[in-house]
Amino acid sequence: VSGSGFDVLLAGAGLDPADRQALAALEEMLTLVPDEAPRPSAELQAVLDGGPSMPRRPGHPLRTGVVAGLLGLTATVGIGAAAAAADDLPPGVQRAVSVWSHRHLPFAFPMPDRSPHAASVPRRPAPSATTLPAPHLPPPSAVTTRRHSDVAATPAARPAESSPAAPGASPSGHHHAGGSSPTPSATGSPSHPAGDHAQEPGSAGHGGSAAGAKGQHPTGRPVQVPSAQSKRQDTEHRADKHGNSSGHRRMTQSRRDRSPGGP
Amino acid sequence: VELSDEIAAAARSGDPDALTTVYRLMSPRVLGYLRARGVEDPEGLTSEVFLGVIPRLHELRGGADGLSTLVFSIAHARSVDEVRRRARRPRESAFDAAADPRLVPSAESRVVSHDAARRTLDRLARLSEEQRVVVALRVLGDLSVEQTAEIVGKSVGAVKQLQRRGLLALRSMVESGEVSL
């Protein structure tokens, strides 16, 4: 602020520009301003020398808009593809997307369920060959009932529970419950030979056959049908695991038979 | 060399020479303003002010006047922060007779060794906070009433009123000689 600046300042404040006391106060205020610039700090000096903290100009608006548009387009296409794959689009749009994907893409989106072309478009293929074929599947209500009974009679689910009314209870269950009951054969329950399960892939209704039939596990996973020999080995293995097994009894019985004194 | 619109534009584009010129031309006034505000380390804070100015130069509008407004806006904000910080957390230290301003001049007093400067600081200390800011920005920052109003966030009329009262108070102090040296 020069002398003329002081005049304007004082005049603007409603004071006399020629007021000596006021001008003296303003003149002395300027003594706070040094003649030379203060020495900058090391950080500021590095910036003034063109260091790495130089100001960066913001991105051009057009470039920013193009990038934002591409991001929006990518998001829209991704969400639309996910919706089309889930058959969530409106039927008309879903049909158009499906037809277009059949023609131009290496994969195809499904046709809408309500479309008359729905039967002609293959749906998702079966996950594996162990799944039951459609004609052998029981009605849904039967499957539900059977699964419940299977779970109730499965040895793993209720190992100590075995009653004579429960068909197909495991042999080990008999041992735990009674101990003096007649020992079943090592090949499994007498009323359910292993061959029966192989013969009737869909007959999962027999107790204890949840893992023995070719079908679905109560949890819904497809299971593999063991052969008669492997089932026998499995039964013996389980019996050996419990110590007081039928195999051990059978061996004891054969020794007695061989002994000279007899039983 | 005076601050011009061309220098401001070059500084806005990140030209190191223009930035150095801006610092050389404006830092003395910024330092004077910070001294008038009574900050503890006015020289260090001056460097911090310009370190805060440079990243914001891309916002600059209005040439040299806009650059002055931007620089003193940041200087004012930093000084307010510093004053608030001191009020919130006063620095505690053991008594040192060599640092007692009643016995020896303080560091700031040694820097501003001129009697006129010491008288000015004493006078400004007697003004209200708002009057001190407005008068300092108008006189030391060489800013217009409009620029000052923008920085302190008040209307032009309020700034004129504060300026008038502050100048009247300074004048009366000079007239009555109420300044202790």
Most confident of A198-202, A213-217, B60-64, B152-156: B152-156
**d(C-alpha B122, C-alpha A124), whole Å:** 88
Using alpha carbons only, give the angle B136, B140, B144 rounded to the nearest 5 degrees.
80
Q: Is the CB of A58 inside 8 Å of chain B's CB atoms?
A: yes
Of B31 and A6, the one with more pLDDT: B31
% of chain A exceeding 90 in pLDDT: 7
Select from B14, B43, B51 the Cβ nearest to the Cβ of A43.
B51
Q: How far is residue A204 CA from its own chain's centroid?
A: 29
On the question of pLDDT at B55 being above 60, the answer is yes
Q: What's the mean pLDDT when you consider all of chain B?
A: 86
- Per-residue pLDDT tens digits for B139-169: 999 999 999 999 999 999 999 999 999 999 9
For residue A83, the surrounding DSSP H or E stretch is: helix A61-85
The neighbouring-strand residues paired with A222 are A216
What local confidence, expressed as pLDDT, does residue B83 receive?
83
**d(C-alpha B41, C-alpha B53), whole Å:** 18
On the question of pLDDT at B25 being above 90, the answer is yes
Select from A28, A30, A40 the Cβ nearest to the Cβ of B119.
A28
**d(C-alpha B179, C-alpha B122), whole Å:** 7
pLDDT band, residue A16 (cuts 50/70/90): confident
Using alpha carbons only, give the angle A133, A138, A140 rounded to the nearest 5 degrees.
115
Of B108 and A178, the one with more pLDDT: B108
pLDDT band, residue B91 (cuts 50/70/90): low
How confident is the model over A238-251, as a mean pLDDT?
50
Of A177 and A22, the one with more pLDDT: A22
CB of B125 closer than 8 Å to CB of A37 = no
Of A117 and B171, the one with more pLDDT: B171
What local confidence, expressed as pLDDT, does residue B170 receive?
92
A/B interface, count of CB pairs below 8 Å: 134
Q: Which two tokens stand for residue A11?
A: 């005049």
What local confidence, expressed as pLDDT, does residue A52 receive?
56
CB of A216 closer than 8 Å to CB of A222 = yes
3-state secondary structure string, chain B?
A: CCCCHHHHHHHHCCCHHHHHHHHHHHHHHHHHHHHHHCCCCHHHHHHHHHHHHHHHHHHCCCHHHHHHHHHHHHHHHHHHHHHHHHHHCCCCCCCCHHHCCCCCCCHHHHHCCCHHHHHHHHHHHHCCHHHHHHHHHHHCCCCCHHHHHHHHCCCHHHHHHHHHHHHHHHHHHHHHCCCCC
Residue with tokens 């209200």: B128
pLDDT band, residue B46 (cuts 50/70/90): very high
On the question of pLDDT at B115 being above 90, the answer is no
Contact B46 A32 (CB under 8 A): no
Residue A73 identity = L
Contact B31 A28 (CB under 8 A): no
Question: Nearest-CA neighbor of A199 among A155, A136, A128?
Answer: A136
pLDDT band, residue B99 (cuts 50/70/90): low
How confident is the model over A125-142, as a mean pLDDT?
50
Most confident of A56-60, A212-216, A240-244, B10-14: B10-14
Of A104 and A170, the one with more pLDDT: A104
% of chain B exceeding 90 in pLDDT: 57
Select from B50, B117, B174 the Cβ nearest to the Cβ of A31.
B117
- Per-residue pLDDT tens digits for B70-85: 999 999 999 999 888 8
How confident is the model over A205-222, as a mean pLDDT?
46
CB of A129 closer than 8 Å to CB of A185 = no
On the question of pLDDT at B131 being above 50, the answer is yes
**A195-209, B70-84, B97-111, range with the lowest pLDDT:** A195-209
What local confidence, expressed as pLDDT, does residue A66 receive?
86
Cα torsion B156, B159, B165, B171 to 10°: value is: -100
Whether the complex's predicted ipTM is more than 0.90 is answered with no
What local confidence, expressed as pLDDT, does residue A49 receive?
85
What local confidence, expressed as pLDDT, does residue A245 receive?
46
Q: What's the mean pLDDT when you consider all of chain A?
A: 62
Nearest CA distance, A35 vs chain B (angstrom): 7
Q: Which two tokens stand for residue B126?
A: 């007697």
Most confident of A110-114, A175-179, B17-21: B17-21
**A55-64, A188-197, A225-234, A242-251, range with the lowest pLDDT:** A188-197
Using alpha carbons only, give the angle B132, B133, B139 rounded to the nearest 5 degrees.
85
Nearest CA distance, B156 vs chain A (angstrom): 12
Q: Is the CB of A257 inside 8 Å of chain B's CB atoms?
A: no
Contacts of B98 (CB under 8 A, 6+ apart): B104
The DSSP code for A216 is B
DSSP states along A102-158: HHHSSS-PPPPTTSTTGGGS--SPPS-TTSPPGGGPPPHHHHHHHHHHHHHH-TTT-
